[in-house]
Structure 1
């Protein structure tokens, strides 16, 4: 690990990957600044006036964009932020991107064009989506409903993503590299439901639906129309089998294998979060 006495800004620092990245950096006794809408001062991707106050004396930035890099306008926002960050003295950028999201590549290019050290992390679906995000409710209800058919996905644990991100933020070894990050095996959503069922002792089912059915259900739960359209389109394209293969990104970055979904399911079940 290189000497780094300046601050690392962790955007999305209260989210799934950002929280873990911040904790790891703190463990290494490195100064950390959290960027979030609830922080002090706050950070909001939709309000450029909130950006500059967090960039003072920042050496490196962990970039997590909300709601998703595949959404319209994301690349322009990322380019504007990276330009400001570099002008403010930032010398290293690590971007969390989506595996198989063609629209996200424009944001990746904006980071590559920044003129400073960069690393791109293209992650597959998170294990923790089933325990810390929008699929927790369906797991508690006993039914995971998605427009995913029987496609297989190499689910990745966010602890692995955080480990790779911290390595990239603190070492020159990963400069100029793009890592495709996957778990160690392919699982369908039916497989995932079976894994969680085994870990919890409850019956969890997976129900495939059409994109139209998924959109209607999301609307019934109050999800904004513009988000429904973007998410449905994203799920339909990314879950078309394009990501149904494994990569060695975690091993290339860390020299070890990624965590298996079975271990994640067992450890998560012991916390009680999947108990209705």
Structure 2
């Protein structure tokens, strides 16, 4: 089946690389024009390198390689005015907005007693307020277009306890609740809102220094290590695995799916 989102326009945050890039390219491959947004600068408290403007340009190139158009914007999701400007520019360029993927987020694992107040605040500011800002900046455009789909990227940590990530887990449960709350009020505009819950994904955020940091934390309480085990015999999933489900939620195939927690977690939430 091709052209599953033909003629639609999508906006994706955190789109410079990793899951965000995979979502943008997958949607473009199925017919969508895409507004790609990323901060392209250093994120607070994280050990992994942040995306660059060159990374965002590469996402644009890959979208255009699918025969679709792209508009890029360097915006921090904590900046509501900047997000509104990016959404407005996308609508001015493409004429409408149908799909929103609030993908941007940060993760900085550490034991509970090493989570400083500013680390907790920064995590919630990006992962919760940033998602709220994304919806607030875009939902009016979806309503004007007659409806659409909003996908809020949470985590398996939004379905279960994720050890050594009390701040991250808190933020991802909040995103899950936010999806249900927005779904309730936006339904009258034919806007569907769902949360997405991946397990570990092979991205710059999920590998390298962050894994080393997580391993050091687990050494302090190895009893909790099995909570990171997937039920299926895979260590990690790929961004494209998650993008396939984003495509489903963006398409009319899921036209009656809303206020739902969609797990793409290889069964990790069963542990």
Question: Smaller-chain TM-score range?
Answer: 0.5 to 0.7
Equivalent residues in 2 for 1:168-247, closer than 5 Å = 168-173=249-254, 175-176=257-258, 177-183=260-266, 243-245=269-271
Distance across 2 between alignment mates of 1:138 and 1:76? 23
- CA deviations 1:130-175 (Å, max 9, x no partner) are xx33632487x9x943326232422551321111111111234262
Distance across 1 between alignment mates of 2:142 and 2:37? 17
- CA deviations 1:25-67 (Å, max 9, x no partner) are 2222321121112354322112112112322222111111322
1:10 aligns with 2:81: no
- CA deviations 1:62-100 (Å, max 9, x no partner) are 1113226x9434444433432331212352101111222
Secondary structure of the residue aligned to 1:46 is: coil
Q: Of 73, 77, 81, which residue of structure 2 is paired with 1:49? A: 81
Could you tell me whether the CA contact under 8 Å between 1:98 and 1:104 is conserved in 2? no
1:4–1:125: structure 2 CA closer, same or farther, 3 Å change rule? same
Q: CA deviation at 1:9?
A: 0.8
1:107 aligns with 2:178: yes
Could you tell me whether the CA contact under 8 Å between 1:4 and 1:170 is conserved in 2? no
Q: Of 229, 237, 246, which residue of structure 2 is paired with 1:165? A: 246
**Considering only aligned residues, what root-mean-square deviation do their CA atoms show, in Å?**
3.0
- CA deviations 1:1-30 (Å, max 9, x no partner) are 655413111111123211111121222232
1:80–1:135: structure 2 CA closer, same or farther, 3 Å change rule? closer
Segments of 5+ residues of structure 2 without an aligned counterpart are 41-55, 57-71, 108-119, 161-168
Which residue does the alignment assign to 1:31? Answer: 33
Secondary structure of the residue aligned to 1:168 is: helix
1:156–1:7: structure 2 CA closer, same or farther, 3 Å change rule? same
1:119 aligns with 2:194: yes
From the two aligned structures, give the one with the greater helix fraction.
2
Task: Count matched residues.
Answer: 182
Could you tell me whether the CA contact under 8 Å between 1:10 and 1:35 is conserved in 2? yes
Distance across 2 between alignment mates of 1:110 and 1:77? 16
Which residue does the alignment assign to 1:89? Answer: 142
Q: Of 65, 72, 75, which residue of structure 1 is paired with 2:124? A: 72
TM-score, structure 2 as length reference: 0.57
Distance across 2 between alignment mates of 1:46 and 1:138? 23
1:133–1:87: structure 2 CA closer, same or farther, 3 Å change rule? closer
1:60–1:75: structure 2 CA closer, same or farther, 3 Å change rule? same
